[in-house]
Amino acid sequence: MAQSLEGLASDSDAPVEIHAEEGIEWIQEKKVYIARGKARAIRGDVTVDADVLTAHYRPTEEGGTDIWRLDADGNVKIRNPSSVTYADRGVFDVPKGILVLTGRRLKLETGENTVTAHDSLEFWQFRNMAVARGNAHVTGKNREMDADILTAYFHKVPGKGTELQRIEAFGNVKIKTPKETAISERGIYDMVTSIVSIFGSVKILRGNDQLTGEYGEVNLNTGISRLLNAPPSGGRKGRVRAVFSAKKGAKIEPKESQPQQ
């Protein structure tokens, strides 16, 4: 996601090429180029396809053209060597490094992960951040994450480029693995440790068994989960409760565990 922005907004001297089947309109008074009909913009290894591409430009002192905003409308597709992103509309503010994608078919595909959202996909280059809003959903290898809002943070690794560091989830958070489902109000997925920390009205469901508390951790590598009455850093405390399914119609009473410090 970040690489798409870097490719379009980098300070290199690589030119921006624009192609279109129906032609390119140049409106000098408004300082825009409008490419219509399977329009395509290319810079380096980044390609933007759309029904219509509108490039807003500023003349440079050297006599060149500085494209400061790019609007993409209809069947938007952004590709680089590591990802493909789909949308109905996209607006890229080059100086601010902000790309906002909207529409009914919002999707980002990488080698192992797929991200979808109902409202918008936003990429903030200079903050090394991406945001999926509205029923955001991430599917990866043997895991899924849902939330009202998902925010991803990147960092630069010398010699490796940009890598995903963590994902923060807000509102109606649900994390699914082959063994269990975790539900909470907020979650933080640390990509380095593969540990998901979940906060607020936490439920961990495994088959017919259910654990409830205020804070939990799910290790996606080991499959080990633990539930506490409060986050390690402090905060609202409650009791941890476990309900285990009965066998052959036997009845068992739910038990409350002692609060863990």
pLDDT tens digits along 184-223: 999 999 988 888 899 888 888 888 888 888 888 888 888 7
Rounded to the nearest integer, the mean pLDDT of the chain is 83
* Cα–Cα distance, 130 to 152 (Å, whole number): 5
Mean pLDDT of all residues in 233-258: 57
Q: Are the C-beta atoms of residues 216 and 182 closer than 8 Å to each other?
A: yes
Mean pLDDT of all residues in 57-73: 85
The two tokens of residue 140 are 């990866």
Q: DSSP characters for 239-253?
A: --EEE---STT----
Give the predicted TM-score (pTM) of the model. 0.81
Core vs surface per residue 204-234: b (16+ CB within 10 A) or e: beeeeebbbbbbbbbebeeeebebbbbbeee
Q: What pLDDT is recorded for position 24?
A: 94
Sign of torsion over alpha carbons 155, 157, 163, 166: negative
Cα angle 114, 92, 89 (rounded to 5 degrees) comes to 60
- Name the residue with tokens 């909207």: 102
Q: Are the C-beta atoms of residues 238 and 256 closer than 8 Å to each other?
A: no
Mean pLDDT of all residues in 39-68: 87
* Cα–Cα distance, 245 to 92 (Å, whole number): 52
Number of Cβ within 10 Å of residue 151's Cβ equals 19
Measured CA distances, 245 to 201, 206, 211, 235 (Å): 21, 10, 11, 31
* Cα–Cα distance, 85 to 98 (Å, whole number): 15
Segment 235-239 long-range contacts (CB within 8 Å, at least 24 positions apart): 235/199, 238/213, 238/214, 239/213
Q: What pLDDT is recorded for position 81?
A: 79
Q: What pLDDT is recorded for position 207?
A: 83
The residues, ordered by sequence, that sit 6+ positions from 111 with a Cβ below 8 Å of its Cβ are 82
* Cα–Cα distance, 41 to 54 (Å, whole number): 10
* Cα–Cα distance, 21 to 66 (Å, whole number): 24
Q: In the structure, what pLDDT confidence band is assigned to residue 160 with cuts at 50, 70 and 90?
A: low
Q: In the structure, what pLDDT confidence band is assigned to residue 237 with cuts at 50, 70 and 90?
A: low
Q: Are the C-beta atoms of residues 4 and 80 closer than 8 Å to each other?
A: yes
* Residue 31, pLDDT above cutoff 50: yes
- Report all structural domains of the chain as residue ranges with CATH numbers, in order of start: 1-141 (2.60.450.10)
| Top-confidence range, 12-26, 126-140, 157-171, 226-240 | 126-140
| Top-confidence range, 9-23, 202-216, 233-247 | 202-216
Closest CA to 50 of 36, 67, 33, 60: 36
* Residue 108, pLDDT above cutoff 60: yes
Q: What pLDDT is recorded for position 252?
A: 45
Q: What pLDDT is recorded for position 188?
A: 93
* Residue 176, pLDDT above cutoff 80: yes
* Residue 134, pLDDT above cutoff 90: yes
* Cα–Cα distance, 96 to 203 (Å, whole number): 40
Closest CA to 16 of 126, 74, 53, 108: 53
